Structure 1
Amino acid sequence: MNSISKNERKNNERTMCSLKEIEKRKIVEHNDLITSVAKMDKVPLKIFELAVSCIDTDNPPKNNTIYLSKAELFAFFKVDDSNKHHRFKEAIAKMQEQAFFEIREEKDKGFKFRRILPIPEVAWTDYDDKVMIRFDQAIMPYLIDLKQSFTQYALSDLVELNSKYSIILYKWLSMNYNQYEHYNFKGGRRAEQVEAYRNPSITVKELRTITDTVNEHKHFPHFENRVLKRGIEEINAHTSFNVTYEKVKKGRSIDSIVFHITKKPVARNDFYKLEEQDPIYLQDKANKEQAEELLAGKALKSKYTKLLLDNMLLSPYEMTDTSLMAGLQAHVYPLYDELKELRGLNGVKDHLSYVRAKQEAYSKRNITKYLKKAIEQYLPTVKRQDIENE
């Protein structure tokens, strides 16, 4: 009995999702889920997004189950009043009674529609800080089988979004802007096609569908004020995007909306510990940041970065992460150099093709560790083969 309890405790510790590093957490979803209809309110939608950010696609959660801390869950929603537990129970009840995704998948002659209840089970106790969340099996392919057509965005961008519409718009805009960054760096699209991703257009009919407002705010000025203006204001105020839009008429009616997306410069972090004001600490920190920037700059110019992009093992979004790129340059690319010496550049290409084909979904949370482990396991085999050939 005690051994079972220990095993369960260890499993819970492994799958417990911490919000302490919220700035580093990412959400990855299939584009079919991004363009689906979320039949739920803001709070259930944010609970779902928070739970998705806990999934490690390299090691999918056992029984589709993750664990959250109550304290950190309330912190994510900025809830600190005495009624927070009651409000949490209400949100969970509402999510399980009403919330579902209506997913549209393109088929030969049109669309195939699926209705999926994303989180059928949430469990907690009144004496423990842990909240168990279990995903439905039907939703998992949209969260872990991400070979192509997926979108990645920062969990921190969702924290301050207080409207269901702003969350949905932000995800749709991220889907388009990610493609702009991808093709702008990699090529493979005409200039006007690339620009179309940064300035995406959507019909009002389709926008009403994905925001679940087909039967709401039927008068366009009401729709614009409640959905468009309020959503874009929140996105501009609280996310990494600056967005404007223009209305396109067809006859006397507004037929479609064209969005214009730009990325904000990386903001300076003003929150630091008092001891970090020490001149020696600041100098060490500056040296470290300078070294990271130099390594990241080299990585951006490296032929290996392009190979990772070609094999969808790296996204343009991840290329904006200085620490990640510096890690690749410092810990992974030297090993690729070793392989190149042994097998040539084509040998590196073959290795990355194999890595992508072998692993259906890799970890979006620590790609450096994942790629380093893959090449470290492969290099001894190559060296052993060369010795045997000699």
Structure 2
Amino acid sequence: MKKELVVVQRNKFIRGDFSFLEVRDIKILKLLVSKVNATSKEFNDYYYFTKDEVRTFEFNERNIHSYIKTSLRKLSSVFVIIKNDDKEEVEISLVGKIIYDKKNGIYKVPLSSDLKEYLLDIKKEFTKYKLENLINLKRKEEIKLYEYFKSISFEVFVVSIDNLKAIMELNKKSFESFFNFHKKLKESILTINTYTDIQINFKILKVNKQSKNIQFNIKRFEISKTSFLTIENLISKYSNKNIMLNNDLYTVKTLELSEGYVILSVYSKELNLVGKLKFRNLEDCDGYLEKEIHPIK
């Protein structure tokens, strides 16, 4: 983001049910929220954003205007469900009418008065993070999980698997399988660890030999923009560079995220062999390659 935008929300809103929204809708909603002054008592008449701000999320859409309009229409027509307690649920609207300033390429969107309780005059029970942390979170469950972790004050805590599925909004029948759920959780946490300002480790806790709960450990830190790592910039940095493995020369070919790990593919022309190295995150991979790159003499 050109300008540092910060998202501030009450924790109740973060933990609401966003089932009717897709990842693009949530990102545009959070962009709007980042425009709000959380210490104010009233919303502005409109909040403004541009196509370029939306492009920062890397949606890879050719017709970005149509994409934004579709998302804003969705935001104006759905409700988010907030649980006040076990007995009461509240359905709240999100945005009002949408105005597009063609000349300046600006979208003007009013936030619903229903959101005042969750976005204004905030003094307690809230979560704050830089909008840039959402750029590389490509799936809704990753955003939901990231916001949930940010809203928790503890460094170590335990969540039941059923509650975690609800938090991540994993409602498909396929996630009744522990294998599928565990795989999705690992992939989501790898992405969060790689691209955001928190680092998460977890372990499964078993009760009567059944996996029931998950214990999380969270480290929190600020991202240095100069060290912000992505798959793309590591490929650019190391592609076609050489490393030595067991005294054989290999060339770096590709990097990808797979099943909760960073996979580095290397090729030996002499051996006609492709090998793969596995890392926990991009930082580990970058650190390894920094040390092992072999100059051609």
Q: Return the TM-score normalized by structure 1.
A: 0.53
The structure where strand makes up a greater share of residues is 2
SS state of the match for residue 38, structure 1? Answer: coil
Structure 2 counterpart of 1:222? 180
SS state of the match for residue 95, structure 2? Answer: coil
Matches within 5 A, 1:67-216: 67-74=48-55, 76-79=56-59, 81-97=61-77, 99-106=78-85, 110-176=86-152, 179=153, 197-216=154-173
Distance in 2 between the 1:238 and 1:264 partners? 12
What are the Cα deviations for residues 30-87 of structure 1, in whole angstroms up to 9, with x where unaligned? 1111222212111111111111110012344323x2111222222x222465322222
What are the Cα deviations for residues 2-38 of structure 1, in whole angstroms up to 9, with x where unaligned? xxxxxxxxxxxxxxxxx5213xx22111111122221
SS state of the match for residue 62, structure 2? Answer: coil
Gaps of 5+ in 2: 229-297
Matches within 5 A, 1:1-390: 19-22=1-4, 25-39=5-19, 40-59=21-40, 60-63=42-45, 65-74=46-55, 76-79=56-59, 81-97=61-77, 99-106=78-85, 110-176=86-152, 179=153, 197-216=154-173, 217-226=175-184, 228-264=185-221, 266-267=223-224, 269=226
Gaps of 5+ in 1: 1-18, 180-196, 272-390
Amino acid at match of 1:35: R
Deviation at 1:265, TM superposition (A): 6.5
Structure 1 counterpart of 2:279? none
User: Could you tell me whether the CA contact under 8 Å between 1:158 and 1:167 is conserved in 2?
Assistant: yes
SS state of the match for residue 226, structure 2? Answer: coil
Runs of 4+ more than 6 Å apart:
none
SS state of the match for residue 37, structure 1? Answer: coil
Matched residues, number? 225
The structure where helix makes up a greater share of residues is 1
Moved more, 78-87 or 65-74: 78-87
User: Could you tell me whether the CA contact under 8 Å between 1:247 and 1:258 is conserved in 2?
Assistant: yes
Distance in 2 between the 1:143 and 1:165 partners? 22
Distance in 2 between the 1:147 and 1:29 partners? 10
What are the Cα deviations for residues 244-300 of structure 1, in whole angstroms up to 9, with x where unaligned? 1111122343212111111346536279xxxxxxxxxxxxxxxxxxxxxxxxxxxxx
Q: Return the TM-score normalized by structure 2.
A: 0.69
User: Could you tell me whether the CA contact under 8 Å between 1:100 and 1:115 is conserved in 2?
Assistant: yes
SS state of the match for residue 48, structure 1? Answer: helix
Distance in 2 between the 1:220 and 1:121 partners? 43
Moved more, 42-51 or 216-225: 216-225
Q: 1:250 to 1:167 in 2, by over 3 A?
A: same
Deviation at 1:112, TM superposition (A): 1.7
User: Could you tell me whether the CA contact under 8 Å between 2:141 and 2:170 is conserved in 1?
Assistant: no
User: Could you tell me whether the CA contact under 8 Å between 1:37 and 1:211 is conserved in 2?
Assistant: no
Distance in 2 between the 1:145 and 1:253 partners? 44
Amino acid at match of 2:179: P
SS state of the match for residue 70, structure 2? Answer: helix
User: Could you tell me whether the CA contact under 8 Å between 1:38 and 1:210 is conserved in 2?
Assistant: no
Distance in 2 between the 1:52 and 1:223 partners? 30
SS state of the match for residue 269, structure 1? Answer: helix
What are the Cα deviations for residues 87-137 of structure 1, in whole angstroms up to 9, with x where unaligned? 22332333334x43211113xxx3421111212433214444110122111
Deviation at 1:215, TM superposition (A): 4.5
RMSD over equivalenced CA pairs, Å: 2.3
